[in-house]
Amino acid sequence: MNNKKVSVIIPARNEEKIIQKTIESYKKQEYYPLEIIVVVNNSTDQTYKISSKYADKVLDFSGRIGTSAARNEGVKIATGNIFIFSDADSYLSKGAIKKIVDLIDKNTIGTPLGKGDNDRFGSKLFFFYKNWTHRLRIYKGIIDGVFFCHREIFLKTGGFDKLKKIVEFEDFIKRAKKNKARYKLFTNCYAITSLRRYEEKGYLNNYIFWIKWRIASIFKKEKKLTEKYFN
């Protein structure tokens, strides 16, 4: 197994409009050796057909297994030692994979800074807030859409909790740190993310949800709120 081989693992559900662009963006990184794995999760559109044409490996689950479980399934067939977990509507800035590989070791976990896929004011404000909460170490998670780690720390940590519909990365990071993982924010590259969902639901509504969720979690009531929004 090549110590520098990268496996990009992309869970996808009904992403026929964007999955080709995401896969091709990783190929344009021009980093080798690289494999792109798409885990299709209960899709009813052409996501599997398109992914099969452009990705290196594709898994297709007819039942809805959830995003966390989909990432774990992708790892099972991955042959790289460095994992990059990417949302289906996110990709990395040019040259980012090489920058990650040059600095990662077996205990590194982390995320790059974030950017939106447009230059609207709401997008800039949104990522200004997210990037600086991470730069100032107010919050350590993923900024949006992309997370990376070494195979060794992933296996030690036991993968993602398949029962978690949200904050699965936050949960993984906490458990990984118990296995001596070191969290790193990569400030020399970006994850570029589609803002379609934020713009559809509204940035303010997104902020309000997370404020409610954080408060509910203090009183161990977050499960009910999660089920309401992520059924």
Is pTM, for the whole model, over 0.85? Answer: yes
Do 129 and 211 lie in one domain? The reply is no
Asked whether residue 118 falls in the same domain as residue 73, the answer is yes
Q: How many domains does the chain have?
A: 2
Residue 114 within any structural domain of the chain:
yes
What pLDDT score does 224 carry? 65
- Same domain, yes or no, for 133 and 154? yes
Are residues 230 and 188 both part of a single domain? no
Range of the domain at 92: 6-194
Same domain, yes or no: 219 and 171: no
Give CA separation, 166 vs 5, 88, 172, 229, in Å.
29, 16, 11, 10
Nearest to 90 by CA among 164, 154, 151, 169: 169
Tell me how far apart the alpha carbons of residues 38 and 48 are, in angstroms, rounded to a whole number. 8
The answer to whether residue 13 sits within a structural domain is yes
pLDDT digits (tens, 9 = 90+) for 26-69: 999 989 999 999 999 999 999 999 999 999 999 999 988 999 99
Pair 55, 130 in one domain: yes
Report the CATH number at residue 60. 3.90.550.10
In a domain, 72, yes or no: yes
d(CA 212, CA 101) in angstroms, rounded, equals: 37
- Measured at the CA of 105, the angle between CA 171 and CA 107, to 5 degrees, comes to 35
Has residue 1 been placed in a domain?
Answer: no
Residues of the chain with pLDDT under 70: 1-3, 210, 213, 221-231
The confidence score (pLDDT) of residue 92 equals 96
